[in-house]
């Protein structure tokens, strides 16, 4: 077993632990994938995966072989990146991890510019919570990350933008109405200090908790429930670009009557920032920020 396609097959199987999902990612049929796996197991002389109704499970031998496969692929990618860095044209894979809200609302326009200008470059993109992104960079799985909230990252970082927070509702147009309303406060879970910041603002403003609350797992769900008039929420400006004009938006201010804002940072290690595909992406980001600032977006 020496070809990279077999290494990729094992890595995808170990990631998905499901034959159907792995076959979809590899663009092969399940029978073809099953046959390939049997051939690989025969070459290794050991059973690597056990099938059950719940999916796949790794054997002890499987854990060793799939770890070897993942490490070999990572080493090959690193060598290719170093080779491509010697050329003038931008090649290689740009590995990005971004906070979900940024991936949904800001990044697509930036990536569109990047792929149009550098069609030879590949993109590996994952989204998640900021803590997961920092971990991904720290373990060398990602070149650059885009996180939300104040950052104490010690490596290279670039401030991208701040966006103010708004109280959002289809009916309530004044904070005074919150004392009498029975509408629910829709909140979303976050691993950052966002939730704590909202709690501090609320208690400073009202001293009593909201009468009803709905807690959801993602900001996009919170946003859609608010947009459809289910209740009120507090959302950053980046999530309100598609908001109905009839939706009431009241800016949040701190005790000094200054707007409360969320920071967005691009972070990584200096070594990654020297890669050509990363340098090219950073140039696109700077260009995009400059263009959107001049247009007043």
Among residues 204, 212, 202, 149, the alpha carbon closest in space to that of 180 is found at 212
Indicate whether 83 pLDDT > 80: no
Task: Tell the burial category of 244 from Cβ atoms under 10 Å away from its Cβ (0-12, 13-18, 19+).
Answer: exposed
CATH placement of domain 4-84: 1.10.10.10
What are the backbone dihedrals phi and psi of residue 56, each rounded to the nearest 5 degrees, phi first? -110, 155
187 and 221 in contact (C-beta within 8 Å)? no
Mean pLDDT (whole number) for 141-160: 88
Given this structure, which CATH class describes domain 92-297?
alpha beta
85 and 92 in contact (C-beta within 8 Å)? yes
pLDDT confidence tier of residue 2, bands split at 50, 70 and 90: very low
Mean pLDDT (whole number) for 67-75: 92
Q: Could you tell me whether strands 49-52 and 55-58 are parallel, antiparallel, or unpaired per DSSP bridges?
A: antiparallel
Indicate whether 82 pLDDT > 80: no
Tell me if residue 21 falls in helix, strand or coil. Answer: helix
Q: State the DSSP H helix or E strand holding residue 35, giving kind and residue range, or none if neither.
A: helix 30-44
Indicate whether 66 pLDDT > 90: yes
Mean pLDDT (whole number) for 194-200: 83
Q: Where are the domains of the chain?
A: 4-84, 92-297
Model pTM score: 0.70
pLDDT of residue 1: 41
Q: Which of 74-88, 142-156, 165-179, 184-198 has the lowest mean pLDDT?
A: 74-88
User: What is the average pLDDT value for the chain, to the nearest integer?
Assistant: 89
Angle at 261 between CA 104 and CA 232, to 5 degrees: 70
Mean pLDDT (whole number) for 205-229: 90
Equal fold, 4-84 vs 92-297: no
């Amino acid at each position: 077993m020496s070809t990279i396609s077999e290494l990729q097959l094992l890595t995808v199987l170990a990631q998905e632990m499901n034959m159907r999902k792995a076959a979809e990612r590899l663009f092969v049929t399940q029978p073809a994938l099953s046959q390939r796996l049997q051939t690989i197991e025969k070459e290794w002389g050991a059973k690597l995966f056990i099938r059950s109704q719940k999916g796949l499970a790794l054997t002890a031998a499987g854990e060793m072989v799939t770890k070897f496969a993942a490490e070999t692929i990572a080493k090959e990618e690193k060598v290719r990146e170093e080779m491509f860095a010697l050329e003038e044209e931008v090649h290689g894979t740009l590995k990005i991890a971004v906070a979900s809200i940024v991936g949904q609302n800001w990044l697509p326009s930036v990536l569109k510019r990047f792929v149009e200008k550098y069609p030879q470059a590949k993109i590996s993109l994952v989204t998640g919570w900021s803590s997961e992104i920092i971990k991904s960079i720290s373990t060398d799985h990602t070149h650059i990350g885009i996180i939300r909230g104040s950052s104490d990252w010690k490596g290279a970082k670039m401030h991208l933008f701040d966006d103010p927070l708004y109280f959002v509702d289809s009916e309530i147009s004044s904070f005074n109405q919150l004392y009498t309303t029975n509408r629910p406060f829709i909140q979303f879970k976050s691993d950052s200090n966002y939730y704590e910041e909202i709690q501090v603002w609320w208690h400073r403003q009202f001293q009593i908790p909201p009468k009803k609350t709905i807690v959801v797992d993602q900001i996009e769900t919170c946003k859609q429930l608010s947009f459809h008039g289910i209740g009120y929420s507090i959302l950053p400006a980046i999530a309100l670009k598609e908001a109905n004009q009839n939706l009431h938006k009241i800016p949040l201010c701190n005790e000094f009557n200054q707007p409360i804002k969320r920071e967005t940072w691009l972070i990584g290690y200096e070594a990654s920032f020297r890669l050509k595909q990363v340098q090219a992406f950073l140039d696109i980001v700077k260009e995009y920020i400059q263009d959107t600032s001049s247009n007043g977006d």
